[in-house]
Amino acid sequence: MSGNMAFAIELFGQGVANGLMYSLVALGFVLIYKATDAINFAQGEFVMIAGIVISALASAAYEFPLWLALFAGLIFMVVFNIALERVVLRPLIGRPIVAIIMATIGLAFILRGIGPMVFGAAPRGLKLPIEDFPIIIGPFFFTPIQLLGAGISIIFLVIFGWFFLKTRKGIAMRAVADSHQVSGAMGINVERYFALAWVMAGIVAMLGGVLWGSASGVDTQLALVGLKVFPVVILGGLDSIIGVIVGGIIIGVAEALAAGFIDPYVGGGTKDFTPYVLMIIMLMIRPYGLLGRKLIERI
Amino acid sequence: MYYRESGYYKTDYKSDMSLYPLPISRFAAFSLLVLFFLAAPVVMNEYYLTLLSLVAIATVGALGLNILLGYAGQLSIGHAAFMSVGAYTAANLATKFDLPFLITLPAGGLMAAAIGIVVGVPSLRIKGVYLAIATLAAQFIIEWIINHSPEISGGAQASIEVPRPTLLGEKLESPVELYYFLLIVAVIAVIATQNLIRSRIGRAFVAIRDQDIAAEIIGISVFKYKLYAFAISSFYAGVTGVLYTYYLGIASYEQFQLGVSIDYLAMVIIGGLGSILGSVFGAFFISLLPIAIRLFMESVGSIFVEPDVLAQSISQLRQILFGVLIIVFLIVEPDGLNRLWINIRNYFRVWPFSH
């Protein structure tokens, strides 16, 4: 029994670390939803394309030093997302939700095609200059990349939480999310804040691409991390930044425990399945999530 | 003057309620039937007939999704999962109980409808984004359940071989026979949808889509009709799954993954939401797009790029073009191909006196 317990604790630690990295990806989604009311089905592909660009630049083909590759990746994501907002999302403002969802799905297809076509489809590694030894904290056992990922996630979640609560731009952004018309009438440049939200999502996706890329290698499979975003944001609440942390940790722990304890009995695959079951349950009880605003309409 | 639209006075209820009230629409429907039933099998070789069969299958599925999304306004990203439910129901019935095709086809549809009702239940409480994500979850959960229960999926490869369909004692084996059968099913689906939409149920769907609270106030049971929408749409999906399974000769969950759901969403959006003709256009467009791209790339692309490079990038190019087309249609022509067709028709309707 104690062996089981130790195993559970071990899985718990892994789950928390992975969950915080999910939070980082989900944060991009929440930022966009919070500011523009748009649902971004391409968040996973943003992460993927950032990972592909950075790893390709850092690889033998281009031989950028790592810091330059990271910087180039950052610039790329910022420029790309500004263009994206301008060309694709802005014409769709005010259209039904299905239009925006389909547009981002179309975007996901484009990114999945362009990434491998420009930089080659072969999987690549993304090596960060950190040691590759396990770190043991109490009963937990982490790889350095997990700790780094969790740390970066927490730092950025705190920064963005502070940004939305305390800064002038953050408050303006929340106003824009509440009502485009009213915030426009109050003198807020709505379109600029839309662009800002997409840029922030791009920056977060770039970080996610670096972390997930160095944790699990870079190819188009990296985009699958985007599928974990939905359970995380539904659990935490679509418009809550703290909810992203909570949801991420819950999903991370749940899938680690499911993979550890249920997989042997059913023959695998529960890792991808459990988050969605949790999400369905949450949708039935509290569709707005643990920490989201209760804006949902009932009929 | 069969093409005139004025001067036809309806003097009894029968002519007022007929499905094609104008001579021009009767003529158009009739000539389309002649084209597809008589001309196509004569003119086309088997390869193109197979493509048309695929279009016929896709038409049924696209109609189903359009009822749900275009008419009732409920977003579903799990359409392919319902297809897989229909497919595996039919495959199991056909292999384990040796039931004939005419029973497994509706059985697959009904089973999918039952599952569709279960998935539709949350639509009472949630809508928009939340419903989209809930149906996405349904897609994964149904896929996982089928994949992980050997009783349903038939063991290791999660695929079941089905016998060739038999109809009235006749085995449908050649592409021509299959084509005729699938075409008949697609035509039935089109006419059934046309009738559904102008019935009480169809109008209730449209009322719910346009304003659910107003619909509730004028006495439409929103919950009941939302479930109807899910059930009917899933029935179509289930039938699509069965047809596809018999068409391929094998039921495999790989044929019904998330990408297929997205293909069907693209069909109804590119074709035109809330339009039956649009569903057919969309089915043609999305089913033939990969083939058109391949032909185009092989003929034009090979001039510019070396063939082996081309072969590598063809699937990626297809994805890119697919995404670009979806986005372009959403931005430039939100009402889809159907709107383009209506514009062309309206131009010629008053031609040459356009003012």
DSSP string, A90-125: GGGTTS-HHHHHHHHHHHHHHHHHHHHHHH-SS-B-
Q: How much is the ipTM here?
A: 0.85
Distance from CA of B66 to the nearest CA of A (A): 13
The shortest C-alpha distance from A275 to chain B (Å) reads 9
Residues B335, B270: Cα–Cα separation, whole Å: 8
Question: Is there a contact between B137 and A95 if contact means CB atoms under 8 Å apart?
Answer: no
Which of A18, A14, A27 has the alpha carbon at shortest distance from A244?
Answer: A27
Q: Domain-by-domain residue ranges, chain B?
A: 23-258
Q: What pLDDT does residue B238 have?
A: 94
A10 vs B: CB within 8 A: no
Nearest to A272 among B140, B269, B324 (CB): B140
- Between CA A18 and CA A249 the distance in angstroms is 8
Hey, are the CB atoms on A269 and B316 less than 8 Å from each other? no
> Which chain A residue lies closest to B134 (C-alpha atoms)?
A280
Name the residue of chain B whose CA is nearest to A103's CA. B327
- Where are any strands of DSSP class E within A207-277? none
| Residue whose pair of structure tokens reads 């009894």 in the numeric block | B12
Q: Please judge whether B317 and A113 are an interchain contact, meaning their C-beta atoms are less than 8 angstroms apart.
A: yes
Residue A282, SS3 per DSSP:
helix
**Per-residue model confidence (pLDDT) at position B306:** 67
| Contact call for A109 and B128, based on CB within 8 A | no
The closest alpha carbon to B258, from B110, B78, B82, belongs to B78
Region for residue B272 given its phi and psi (left: phi exceeds 0; alpha: psi -120 to 50; beta: otherwise): left
Residues 116-175 of chain A whose Cβ lies under 8 A from any Cβ of chain B? 116-117, 121
**Which residue of A88, A276, A282 to mutate against B (max B Cβ within 10 Å)?**
A276
Nearest CA in chain A to B208: A299
Closest-CA residue in chain A for B73?
A98
Instruction: Determine the residue among B326, B329, B332 to mutate to test chain A binding: the one whose Cβ has the most chain A Cβ atoms within 10 Å.
Output: B326
Q: According to the model, what pLDDT value does residue A299 have?
A: 46
* Close Cβ partners of B53 (under 8 Å, ≥ 6 residues apart): B175, B178, B179, B182, B183, B247
Which of B75, B313, B324 is facing A110, going by the closest CB pair? B324
Q: Which of B330, B332, B333, B335 to mutate to test the interface with A (most CBs of A within 10 A)?
A: B330
- Mean pLDDT, consecutive 10-residue stretches, chain B (355 aa), reads 71 82 82 85 84 92 93 89 92 84 89 91 77 88 83 70 72 80 92 92 93 90 92 94 88 84 90 91 90 80 68 78 89 89 85 70
d(CA A124, CA B249): 39
User: By CA distance, what is B220's nearest residue in A?
Assistant: A299
Q: How many interchain CB pairs under 8 A, A with B?
A: 131
Contact call for B331 and A91, based on CB within 8 A: yes
- Give every CB contact of residue B101 below 8 A, 6+ residues apart in sequence: B94, B165, B166, B167, B246
In this prediction, the residues of chain A whose per-residue pLDDT falls under 70 are 1-2, 131-132, 267-268, 295-299
Q: Please list every residue in chain A whose beta carbon sits closer than 8 Å to the beta carbon of residue B125.
A: 283-284, 287, 296, 298
Distance separating the N- and C-terminal Cα atoms of chain B: 21
Give the number of other CB atoms < 10 A from CB of residue A99.
19
Specify whether the CB–CB gap between B286 and B265 falls below 8 A: no
Interface with chain B: mutation pick from A110, A229, A288, highest number of B CBs within 10 Å: A110
How crowded is residue B259: how many other Cβ atoms within 10 Å of its Cβ? 11
In whole angstroms, give the CA distance from residue A111 to residue A107.
6
Residue B322 has its nearest CB partner, among A98, A109, A116, at A109
Question: In a 3-state reduction of DSSP, which class is residue A299?
Answer: coil
Euclidean distance between CA atoms B52 and A233, whole angstroms: 42
Kindly state the tokens that stand for A133: 């030894």
Residue among B65, B75, B121, B140 with most chain A CBs within 10 A, to mutate:
B140
Chain B residues in contact with A267 (beta carbon < 8 A)? 148
Min Cα distance A106 → chain B (Å) is 4
Q: Which of B36, B31, B86 is nearest to B56 (CA)?
A: B36
Please name the member of A103, A110, A231 whose beta carbon is closest to the beta carbon of B320: A110
The reply to whether A296 touches chain B by the CB within 8 Å rule is yes
Taking the CA atoms of chain A, what radius of gyration do you get in angstroms?
19
pLDDT score for B307? 65
Residue of chain B minimizing CA distance to A97: B128
CB contact under 8 A, A269 and B144: yes
B22: closest CA among B33, B7, B11? B7
Q: What is the pLDDT of residues B15-48, one digit of tens each?
A: 888 888 787 888 888 888 888 888 888 888 888 8
Q: What pLDDT, on a 0 to 100 scale, did the predictor assign at position A83? A: 92
